[in-house]
Homo-oligomer: A and B are copies of this chain.
Amino acid sequence: MSAVILDGKKLAAEKETILKEKVSALRARGVIPGLSVVLVGEDPASVIYVRSKEKACERLGIRSLARRLPADISQTELEKELRALASNPEVHGILLQLPLPRGLDADAAIACIPPEKDVDGFTDLSAGRLANGMAGFRPCTPVGILELIRMSGVPMDGKHAVVVGRSTIVGKPCAMMLLEENCTVTLCHSHTRNLAEMTRQADILVAATGRAHLITEDMIKPGAVVIDAGIAHLDGHLTGDVEPEGGRRAAGYLSPVPGGAGPMTIAALMMNTVEAAERFENV
């Protein structure tokens, strides 16, 4: 058996085709969707991520209103910048690139982003709306993960989904979103005993730990949908949480790294931004 590969790059391109039409329609009505990615300092990984988000904006016709702020900016100044973007009608989505340089309070900064512009879904209010089953923006990586699962064609309702990793930006919101799809959901993490015993029960397995090749062939239920949302470096190569050869043998469907959850995260950000612009238009 060999897993069907869930090609995130291809799926992201399909999403972009749909989004381009939506952006054209918005522009025809005089609304130019605008995304402001705020980068504080020059963390090399962050610079690359921000650049790829800006490129996606360019491809789709979304106005990119990037803000580059110095690493030694004060908390007060940072919050002032974010509040200015919050009240700027040309900006429909605000994304504060994390991590922030030392000394800055990310939670307090994120709290300056109003829910209607929180396209990253990181604010407490957006997280609470997800937990309470209310409408709101969901974090981009979990949105992309759910799209990849849908790509498999395997229905989620009643399935046992196991999420490994409990970060506030991937694992926890992903668990809540799988619950919204009526999965039975198990959340595993570094304190979990018998991880393999848990993952082997998964009809749908989402790995989001950043620990290279944590998930091996024997930990996968034969035929399962396996989404690899990990990013790690091993021997100078980019790889994921799932050992790829064993993953391909055991899984029914597998999203690869690179080319799986990564491109879908960017696509989800664009989906959220276009939705923010559409909602803005209808206020």
Any B CB within 8 A of the CB of A77? no
Chain A's interface: helix, strand, loop or mixed, by majority?
Answer: mixed
Q: Annotate A176-189 by CB proximity to B: 1 below 8 A, 0 otherwise.
A: 10010011111111
Name the contact of A126 in the complex, choosing from B128, B189, B198 (C-beta under 8 A): B128
Any B CB within 8 A of the CB of A123? yes
Q: Is the CB of B184 within 8 A of A188?
A: yes
CB distance from A105 to the nearest CB of B (A): 12
Q: Is the CB of A158 within 8 A of B192?
A: yes
Query: Complex formed: what's the CA distance from A125 to B134 in Å?
Result: 12
Query: Complex formed: what's the CA distance from A176 to B168 in Å?
Result: 11
In the complex, which residue of chain B has the Cβ closest to the Cβ of A197?
A: B201
**A127-B131, A128-B131 are contacts. A191–B182 as well, Cβ < 8 Å?**
yes
Within 8 A of B (CB), among A151-175: 157-158, 160, 166, 168, 172-173, 175
Name the contact of A193 in the complex, choosing from B127, B134, B158, B191 (C-beta under 8 A): B158
Chain B residues near A175 (CB-CB < 8 A): 187
**A124-B128, A131-B128, A132-B168 are contacts. A187–B179 as well, Cβ < 8 Å?**
yes
Any B CB within 8 A of the CB of A107? yes
Chain B residues near A127 (CB-CB < 8 A): 127-128, 131-132
Chain B residues near A99 (CB-CB < 8 A): none
Any B CB within 8 A of the CB of A133? yes
Any B CB within 8 A of the CB of A271? no
Chain B residues near A134 (CB-CB < 8 A): 107, 124
In the complex, which residue of chain B has the Cβ closest to the Cβ of A193?
A: B158
Query: Complex formed: what's the CA distance from A1 to B128 in Å?
Result: 42
Any B CB within 8 A of the CB of A53? no
Any B CB within 8 A of the CB of A22? no
Query: Complex formed: what's the CA distance from A166 to B182 in Å?
Result: 10
Chain B residues near A173 (CB-CB < 8 A): 131
Any B CB within 8 A of the CB of A130? yes
Query: Complex formed: what's the CA distance from A192 to B158 in Å?
Result: 5
Query: Complex formed: what's the CA distance from A103 to B119 in Å?
Result: 32
Chain B residues near A9 (CB-CB < 8 A): none
Chain B residues near A157 (CB-CB < 8 A): 191
Query: Complex formed: what's the CA distance from A179 to B130 in Å?
Result: 17
Any B CB within 8 A of the CB of A249? no
Chain B residues near A133 (CB-CB < 8 A): 168
What are 23 inter-chain pairs, A to B, with CB distance below 8 A? A123-B128, A124-B125, A124-B131, A124-B134, A125-B128, A127-B127, A127-B131, A127-B132, A128-B128, A130-B131, A131-B172, A131-B176, A133-B168, A166-B179, A175-B187, A179-B189, A184-B187, A184-B188, A184-B189, A184-B192, A184-B193, A185-B186, A185-B187
